[in-house]
Amino acid sequence: MAEFAAWVESTAVSKALFGMSWLWPLCESLHFIGLCMLIGGAGLLDLRLMGMFRGLPIRHVKALMPWAVAGFAINATTGALFLLMQPHLYLSSAVWWSKVAFIVIAGANALFFETRLAIPALAMDPDADTSAGMKLVGALSLFSWFAVLYCGRMLPYLGTGN
Amino acid sequence: MAFFHRLQDSAFTDWFLGSDSIWTYPTVLTLHTVGMAILVGASFVINLRILQVAGTIPLARLQPLYRFVWIGFTVNLLSGLVLFITEAADRAVDPVFYVKICSIVVALAFGAIVKRRAIDRAAIQQVPSARSRLLAAASLALWTVAIVSGRLMAYLKH
């Protein structure tokens, strides 16, 4: 992995991007905006699946999902740029790999919802309570996204030997 | 100004920024990001709905989201105060800091007007008025300004 990071860092594109001093702060700002779009949109669906916001039809809340997906796309893109500019910082960090693992968990959880639970969830009465499975999926999604945030924000401070 | 210098040069600041523990600066900074996700995330959803995104969501049903707006705001006011203390003298003369604070104050004020005009009276009116939509759009833009200026403050440290 260290050799791979060294190779990425030696490429012209990595050097050129890292050389643009304004790119890093721009990507960070976009990463924070994407985060709010993702947690705002997905979070409301998660809370509804957990049984809160009764009276809010799940199929209507789902209309916010393109915004959550757009937020994720912004963050995946800016995240890839961070990785390209500073490969060592991330690839050698257990905290970063934990972040990736939580993204995979959140993604698999969302996929499970879409394939197994979405049809009954969308057909539900707006005032009805959700099933135990839906509550679990909602809670796991919310937890995973905040874990992703935690790992990302704490990355410079965790696992530095202190 | 002397007061801000006293805060920034206090024993608390030395301990808070100098400590090797993750429970001081890193945790407060992370709480500030968690609070942002809750506050701005909830505000984005409300304002987008006012702008007719996910336009079938019954407006009145978004009322419980204001609890999250307040939770996020409280977390960030408190964590923000602690962060301010440790760099008080620098921030007191930092124009970007004032841009951030002003945009938050105005975004919250616009948000309160939108709540009163569109959410609390939703039973009467399902489609928000043009004025409400304008305020919601401005609020979205101001939250974005707050995030960007907050991020840029890290680059303007002395």
pLDDT of residue B156: 79
Burial per residue of B21-40, b for 16 or more beta-carbon CB atoms within 10 angstroms, e otherwise: eeebbbbbbbbbbbbbbbbb
User: Under an 8 A CB cutoff, do B56 and A63 touch?
Assistant: yes
B123 reaches A (C-beta below 8 A)? no
Decide if pLDDT at B74 tops 60.
yes
Instruction: Give the minimum alpha-carbon distance from A101 to chain B in angstroms, rounded to a whole number.
Output: 19
Best interface-test mutation with B: which of A26, A153, A162 has the largest number of B CBs within 10 A? Answer: A153
User: Is residue A50 within 8 Å of A34, Cβ to Cβ?
Assistant: no
B152 vs A: CB within 8 A: yes
User: What share of chain B has pLDDT > 90, as a percent?
Assistant: 90
pLDDT digits (tens, 9 = 90+) for B118-127: 999 877 667 8
- What is the rounded distance in angstroms from the CA atom of residue A65 to the CA atom of residue A63? 5
Asked if B61 and A56 come within 8 Å (Cβ–Cβ), the reply is yes
pLDDT for residue A98 = 97
Is the pTM here over 0.90, yes or no?
yes
Q: Is any Cβ of chain A less than 8 angstroms from the Cβ of B17?
A: no
Contact state of A28 with B29 under an 8 Å Cβ cutoff: no
- Per-residue model confidence (pLDDT) at position B33: 98
Would you call B155 an interface residue with chain A, using a CB distance cutoff of 8 Å? yes
* Amino acid at residue number A47: L
> Are the C-beta atoms of residues A30 and B151 closer than 8 Å to each other?
no
Q: Residue B98 domain-assigned?
A: yes
Inter-chain contact B41–A39, Cβ cutoff 8 Å?
Answer: yes
**Using the beta-carbon criterion (under 8 Å), do B55 and A63 form an inter-chain contact?**
yes
List CB contacts (< 8 A) between B154 and chain A. 25
Question: CA-CA distance, B13 to B138, in Å (whole number)?
Answer: 36
> Which stretch of DSSP H or E encloses residue A83?
helix A65-85
Q: Is residue B39 part of a domain?
A: yes
- For B117-156, give one letter per residue: b (16+ CB within 10 A) or e: bbbeebeeeeebeeebbebbebbbebbbbbbbbbbbbeee
Partners of residue B146 in chain A, C-beta under 8 Å: none
What's the pLDDT score for residue B23? 94
Say which of B48, B56, B65 has its CB closest to residue A60: B56
Cβ-Cβ contacts under 8 Å, B19 against chain A: none
pLDDT on residue B82: 98
Residue B158 has pLDDT above 60, yes or no: no
Q: Are B68 and B55 in contact (CB under 8 A)?
A: no
pLDDT number for residue A2: 87
Residue A67 CB partners (closer than 8 Å, separation 6+): A37, A40, A41, B44, B48, B53
Question: Which pLDDT score, from 0 to 100, does residue B124 have?
Answer: 66
Closest chain B residue to the Cα of A150, Cα to Cα = B30
Which residues of chain A are modeled with pLDDT < 70? Answer: 160-162
Domain boundaries, chain A: 24-154
- Cα dihedral sign, A150-A99-B140-B41: negative
Give the CA-trace dihedral at B75, B79, B81, B83, to 10 degrees: -160
The pLDDT value recorded for residue A159 is 73
Q: What is the pLDDT of residues B40-63, one digit of tens each?
A: 999 999 999 999 999 999 999 999
- The region of weakest confidence among A100-104, B16-20, B26-30 is B16-20
- What per-residue confidence (pLDDT) applies to A162? 41
Boundaries of domain holding B30: 2-153
DSSP readout, A107-159? HHHHHHIIIIIHHHHHTS-TTSPPPHHHHHHHHHHHHHHHHHHHHHHHTTTTT
